[in-house]
Amino acid sequence: MASAESLKMLEFCKISPPSVADFSLPLTFSDLIWMKFHPVERLFFYSFHHLDSDSDSDSSFFFDSVVPKLKHSLSLNLQHFLPLAGNIVWPSNSQKPIFKFIPGDGVSLIIAESDADFHHLSGNSPVEAIKSRPLVPHLDSSDSISSVISLQITLFPNRGFCIGISAHHAALDGKSTIMFMKAWAYICQNGVESPSLLPELQPFLNREVIKDPNGLDVFFVNQWKKLAEKMDPSSVNQQSLKILFSFPPGLEESLRATFELSRSNLEKIKNKVLLMWDNTGNGEESIHSKPPTLSTFVATSSYVIVCIVKALKAIQNNHDKFLFGFTVDCRSRLEPPIPENYFGNCVCPHVAAVQPEEITKENGLISVAKKIYSKVKKLDKGVLDGIDGLFTKWDSLISEGVQAIGVAGSTRFGVYGTDFGWGRPVKVEITSIDRGLTMAFAESRDGNGGIEIGLVMNKHAMNAFANIFHEGLQSL
């Protein structure tokens, strides 16, 4: 197992944008629904494949070229993304927190060196989940103030380096995080002093496009206050910004691994579901006629859920009900739609409950796919319907002992396009999926139209999952 001794901290610094004036920005209801949720943590691994295998030259290249360029381009990039350079604060006269930047604020950056096995960590094969943790920077949060992002750049001598980012979920969703990373990479790669970002990388910060006639912003703030008091009855600070780490990383005897579905695999899953569509399921999901095609999201989610539940049952981890939680990008679904480069949170969480007997029966894949498809189809008409009842519904389901299965990331983010000038990442992982039973989606690095699925599970469940996953593909 990895330990703190395998990581050497070389530098702690703060990177600030070029001189700019004070800046503040409100948090919308779509931000505040995530107000105390744990940070989203990602790792971007880059290889020194272009250099000779000489550790001295690798280290010199890293410290003389990579680090200075990353620091300088980060500073330039932050002038476009000022909310990230500031903090989340809660003015005493305000019902809700805000973003606040004042000159001198900046992003915490750690430079470190690791003696861990770079190729093992950046590969797809199972690795102890705890080994990724030293590469993830801590995100500060207290009652009075909370950082928005923190960064860590870690050298693996003679192998490569890793950029880790922890992002406050009330500040930005996955799409916005990757926009920031790609903008940083664009500036670094092009080496411009007065950067003009590509239109798709220029953040749209106007919060007025998020309409909230029913006061959902204050409603969600109050919901978080109630939850915080429930978790800690001694809590007396009603304006605390401290993140609720109610989902600590599950690291004991856990493995992290990445599985792939090729384009051919996905087509077989879709075809099987559509072929059996009219012969399976008589529930609410049957009100929808068979679609002409099935989305990659529905096909992948349903296949992986079936494999997870079968794996859990194989190790006698029996649950009466499973909950599938996922987020939906609302940018194009709101009325009127908002710009695709809107920066912040514009995702809404939704849930679909499934019974174990639905999943493990012969046509379980088709039943689960129809249920997820039905849920997604409803969102076309009202993506925010029921959003005010999410806290109550979630609390009720969890108290009943429901096993939640979540999903993070998206194949639409294009994470493997984050090239800082030294090549595309060899691996991008969402480290924070170790805080629950969550699958992480990303497009396949080779661009073949497939999908990568990251998982963290108990080692016994992971072994069972791997066998079920691969055997299932062979029988499609």
* CATH number for position 226: 3.30.559.10
Boundary-marking domain end, from 200, 216, 231: 231
Residues 349 and 259 in one domain: yes
Residues 394 and 449 in one domain: yes
Q: Give me the pLDDT at residue 170, please.
A: 96
232 catalytic per annotation: no
Counting residues of the chain whose pLDDT is more than 70, the rounded percentage is: 94
If one counts every other C-beta atom within 10 angstroms of the C-beta of residue 198, the result is 11
Counting residues of the chain whose pLDDT is more than 90, the rounded percentage is: 71
Catalytic hit among 212, 329, 388, 419: 419
Q: Give me the pLDDT at residue 245, please.
A: 62
Q: What distance in Å separates the CA atoms of residue 201 and residue 249, rounded to the nearest whole number? A: 32
Q: Parallel, antiparallel, or unpaired for β 145-147 and 322-329? A: unpaired
Q: What distance in Å separates the CA atoms of residue 210 and residue 31, rounded to the nearest whole number? A: 10
Considering the domain boundaries, does residue 192 fall inside one? yes
Considering the domain boundaries, does residue 240 fall inside one? no
Query: Which pLDDT band, with edges at 50, 70 and 90, does 405 fall under?
Result: very high
Question: What order do you get walking across the sheet with 322-329 strand by strand?
Answer: 127-128, 254-261, 451-458, 438-443, 403-409, 322-329, 347-354
Q: Give me the pLDDT at residue 3, please.
A: 46
Query: Which pLDDT band, with edges at 50, 70 and 90, does 1 fall under?
Result: very low
Residues 130 and 267 in one domain: no
Residue 113 has pLDDT above 50, yes or no: yes
Q: What distance in Å separates the CA atoms of residue 136 and residue 310, rounded to the nearest whole number? A: 31
169 catalytic per annotation: yes
Boundary-marking domain end, from 168, 196, 231: 231
Residues 387 and 309 in one domain: yes
Boundary-marking domain end, from 169, 197, 231: 231
pLDDT, tens digit, 9 for 90 and up, residues 213-222: 899 999 999 9
Considering the domain boundaries, does residue 243 fall inside one? no
Considering the domain boundaries, does residue 375 fall inside one? yes
N- to C-terminal Cα distance for the chain? 37
Residues 185 and 328 in one domain: no
Mean pLDDT of the region 175-192:
94
Which residue from 72, 57, 58, 96 is spatially nearest to 189, judged by alpha carbons?
A: 72
Residues 191 and 72 in one domain: yes
Average pLDDT, the chain: 90
Residue 372 has pLDDT above 80, yes or no: yes
Residues 58 and 136 in one domain: yes
If one counts every other C-beta atom within 10 angstroms of the C-beta of residue 406, the result is 18
Query: Which pLDDT band, with edges at 50, 70 and 90, does 49 fall under?
Result: confident
Q: What distance in Å separates the CA atoms of residue 279 and residue 368, rounded to the nearest whole number? A: 14
Beta bridge partners of 84: none
Q: Give me the pLDDT at residue 55, please.
A: 53
Mean pLDDT of the region 424-453:
96
Catalytic hit among 168, 169, 217, 350: 169
Q: Give me the pLDDT at residue 466, please.
A: 98
Of residues 92 and 53, which shows the higher confidence score?
Answer: 92
Which residue from 109, 121, 175, 167 is spatially nearest to 331, judged by alpha carbons?
A: 175
Residues 51 and 127 in one domain: yes
Considering the domain boundaries, does residue 146 fall inside one? yes
Considering the domain boundaries, does residue 242 fall inside one? no
Residues 206 and 322 in one domain: no
If one counts every other C-beta atom within 10 angstroms of the C-beta of residue 336, the result is 6
pTM as predicted: 0.95
Of residues 185 and 476, which shows the higher confidence score?
Answer: 185
Residues 320 and 406 in one domain: yes
Q: What distance in Å separates the CA atoms of residue 95 and residue 218, rounded to the nearest whole number? A: 7
Residue 229 has pLDDT above 90, yes or no: no
Which residue from 343, 13, 312 is spatially nearest to 151, judged by alpha carbons?
A: 13
Residue 288 has pLDDT above 50, yes or no: yes
Contact call for residues 473 and 265 (beta carbons, < 8 A)? yes
* Rounded to 5°, angle at Cα 430 from 186 and 151: 55
Phi and psi based region of residue 100 (left: phi greater than 0; alpha: psi -120 to 50; beta: remaining): beta
Considering the domain boundaries, does residue 43 fall inside one? yes
Residues 221 and 351 in one domain: no
Considering the domain boundaries, does residue 245 fall inside one? no
Total domains, the chain:
2
Residues 438 and 379 in one domain: yes
Q: Give me the pLDDT at residue 4, please.
A: 44
Question: 75 is in which domain, residue-wise?
Answer: 4-231
